[in-house]
Amino acid sequence: MRPCFALLALLFSLPLQAAQLHLELGSLSRKWDSAQLLSLPQAREISVDQDVSYKRPMRYRAVPLATLLQGIKADDHLQAVALDGFAAEMPAAPLLQDGPARAWLAIEEPARPWPALGKGKPSAGPFYLVWTDPQASGIRPEQWPFQIATIRRLAAVEARFPALLPDPMLTKDDPVRQGFALFQQNCLACHRLNGAGDAQFGPDLNVPHNPTEYFQPGFLRQYIRNPQSLRQWPQARMPGFAESVLSEQELDALLAYLKHMAGRKP
């Protein structure tokens, strides 16, 4: 056997390296590798009836996420940062609860890799936040971040990024305020606005131009509901937001926030 082929054979025979998860929870910071997590006594096999990313039932080896969030309180704010720059903003309260919806950190076992998310794409590993009974607590698709590299405690979005805030003179029940909350849940994981945000996945939604400035209203709604129905290209990664995820009233509020922020550029 030639030396180069012998080396390749050796490489392919070696087990995959354990991945590392970084926890930055204020004064408590540590690294877990996948082998350590899989050996925790709380680790177990779970079934997810309708996986958001794989769009089918899945089984995982997982630990309750609350097990890893020592020192975190219900009113804390967390962020899950993925390998590709996706940054999911997450209030801590749903992540800490025992049920009915329960958050789990699914761990990809090096010897049993998960399937790819699509042709030419990687899997959801090495770490994936999944939920059992998500409908019981209204868990949204953006609360299922995958390819997680880091989970960290941060100040709330409003404190970190004042450039995202709508006019403080708006009444408490103004739809723009609801739209701001929906923007945080559904858009901030991928996009920035006015240069504010941690995501490095999609374009800024206000600078230089807000989508409400160059999309006709009907086409903008169509684009949010089903991006591929308006613009098709193989590398497109924006998901569609069906009415089951974002109701018509919620979409109205989100668009009201975007239109409002078009008048609040830096």
Domains of the chain: 16-154 (3.90.420.10), 158-261 (2.60.40.420)
Instruction: Answer yes or no: is pLDDT of 34 > 90.
Output: yes
Task: Look at residue 26 in the predicted model and tell me its pLDDT.
Answer: 83
Task: Look at residue 126 in the predicted model and tell me its pLDDT.
Answer: 96
Instruction: Answer yes or no: is pLDDT of 2 > 70.
Output: no
* Residue 185: pLDDT band with limits 50, 70, 90: confident
Residue with tokens 């993925």: 82
Q: 245 versus 57: which is more confidently predicted? A: 57
Q: What is the pLDDT of residues 109-128, one digit of tens each?
A: 988 999 999 888 899 999 99
Given a contact cutoff of 8 angstroms between Cβ atoms, the answer to whether 130 and 106 are in contact is: yes
* Residue 190: pLDDT band with limits 50, 70, 90: confident
Task: Look at residue 12 in the predicted model and tell me its pLDDT.
Answer: 36
Task: Look at residue 238 in the predicted model and tell me its pLDDT.
Answer: 82
Averaged over 160-188, what is the pLDDT?
A: 94
pTM of the model: 0.77
Instruction: Answer yes or no: is pLDDT of 233 > 60.
Output: yes
* Residue 231: pLDDT band with limits 50, 70, 90: confident
Task: Look at residue 140 in the predicted model and tell me its pLDDT.
Answer: 83
Given a contact cutoff of 8 angstroms between Cβ atoms, the answer to whether 109 and 142 are in contact is: no
Q: Which amino acid is at 228?
A: Q
Instruction: Answer yes or no: is pLDDT of 108 > 90.
Output: yes
Task: Look at residue 18 in the predicted model and tell me its pLDDT.
Answer: 74
Given a contact cutoff of 8 angstroms between Cβ atoms, the answer to whether 80 and 105 are in contact is: no
Task: Look at residue 5 in the predicted model and tell me its pLDDT.
Answer: 38
* Residue 236: pLDDT band with limits 50, 70, 90: low
Given a contact cutoff of 8 angstroms between Cβ atoms, the answer to whether 130 and 62 are in contact is: yes
Mean pLDDT (the chain) is: 88
* Residue 13: pLDDT band with limits 50, 70, 90: very low
Task: Look at residue 105 in the predicted model and tell me its pLDDT.
Answer: 98
Tally of CA atoms within 13 A in the half-sphere of 114 that contains its CB: 25
Instruction: Answer yes or no: is pLDDT of 4 > 70.
Output: no
Q: 72 versus 7: which is more confidently predicted? A: 72
Task: Look at residue 14 in the predicted model and tell me its pLDDT.
Answer: 37
Give the distance from CA 156 to its chain's centroid: 16
